[in-house]
Amino acid sequence: MNRVSDALGPSARQSAGRALSALGDTRARPNIRWISALTGASFPEIGRILEETEDLVPMEEEIRQHHRLGGRTYYAQFRAPFDIYALVRLLRPAHIIETGVSSGVSSAHFLAALRRNGSGTLHSIDLPVAQRGERFGARDSPVALPPGHESGWAVPDSLRDGWDLRIGPSESLLPRLVKEIGSLGIFLHDSLHTPSHLTFELTTVRSRLTPGAAVLADNTQWTGAAFPRFCASLGVPLARRGRTDLVGLRFPPPAPYGDPHAL
């Protein structure tokens, strides 16, 4: 156990642990330093939010069951679902946009947090790729849809009300969507991981970022300088999630929480 997870307290650690085993993804342990860097929230405050993840256990079990029925024990899914749950609970955005849905792990956690907030809309864009045959093969993309399934197929029915899911390339759908919404509180890029595509998505959403908005991008090992360049253009620091290539920024940055465990 490290000193940062000690700071969470036993109750938050147990809740997050149960939710994590129910989902069955060991990479999904929440990173409270990252959540704090993006929200300015204290570790005890984040701990209180993470205690709520106990209530997500049935949803995590359902997602895992959907994945199993879809023929997978492991899915190439978003690695930080509890972090985005906490971000939504702490930032309380009116609008969230995500590009890249696949089975819907990130979508389900955004939707669950919005439900708990009691307000806010998730807008998701996905251009799915289909599995080639009945069985998942070596030549299939790890995010390919199993036969007979659609984008977001693992999202529980109980969360779908009010979900704005749009199917098609973000190249055409994102500019249209951005024109429709007045403000954007959280943006997650998890679609086509190329430098030019990430730059396109970031510049498209930029004008709608509301004060205090968070922007996240996964798999930035493939997108070169696109995200750091965007941070520089906004004059804000890049917040990396541990040693991974999942990164984020807050615009403008929050006052940092005085981490009592900082070296």
Ligand X SMILES: C[S@@+](CC[C@H](N)C(=O)[O-])C[C@H]1O[C@@H](n2cnc3c(N)ncnc32)[C@H](O)[C@@H]1O
Note every long-range contact of 131-139, with CB atoms under 8 Å and residues 24 or more positions apart, other chains counting: 135/71, 136/71, 136/72
Taking the least distance from each CB to ligand X, the nearer of 34 and 43 is 34
Q: In the complex, what is the shortest distance from the CB of residue 59 to ligand X, in angstroms, rounded to a whole number?
A: 14
Q: In the complex, what is the shortest distance from the CB of residue 91 to ligand X, in angstroms, rounded to a whole number?
A: 19
Q: In the complex, what is the shortest distance from the CB of residue 117 to ligand X, in angstroms, rounded to a whole number?
A: 20
Taking the least distance from each CB to ligand X, the nearer of 8 and 87 is 87
In this structure, what are the phi and psi dihedrals at residue 147, rounded to the nearest 5 degrees? -55, 135
Q: In the complex, what is the shortest distance from the CB of residue 173 to ligand X, in angstroms, rounded to a whole number?
A: 7
Q: In the complex, what is the shortest distance from the CB of residue 163 to ligand X, in angstroms, rounded to a whole number?
A: 14
The residues that touch ligand X, with contacts defined as CB under 6 A, are: 76-78, 99-103, 105-106, 125-129, 143, 169-171, 190-192
Taking the least distance from each CB to ligand X, the nearer of 13 and 95 is 95
Sheet strand arrangement including 239-240: 164-167, 121-126, 95-99, 184-189, 209-217, 247-251, 239-240
DSSP 2-59: -HHHHHH-HHHHHHHHHHHHHHT-GGG---HHHHHHHH---HHHHHHHHHGGGGGHHH
* CA pair distance 247, 241, nearest whole angstrom: 6
Q: Which residue is nearest to ligand X (CB)?
A: 78
Q: In the complex, what is the shortest distance from the CB of residue 45 to ligand X, in angstroms, rounded to a whole number?
A: 25
From the number of C-beta atoms within 10 Å of its C-beta (0-12, 13-18, 19+), residue 171 rates as: middle
Taking the least distance from each CB to ligand X, the nearer of 60 and 190 is 190
CA distances 259 to 26, 41, 90, 110, 233, Å, are: 25, 10, 18, 26, 27
Taking the least distance from each CB to ligand X, the nearer of 52 and 190 is 190
**Closest-CA residue to 106 (of 28, 38, 178):** 28
Taking the least distance from each CB to ligand X, the nearer of 7 and 188 is 188
* CA pair distance 154, 157, nearest whole angstrom: 9
Taking the least distance from each CB to ligand X, the nearer of 67 and 208 is 67
Q: In the complex, what is the shortest distance from the CB of residue 255 to ligand X, in angstroms, rounded to a whole number?
A: 30
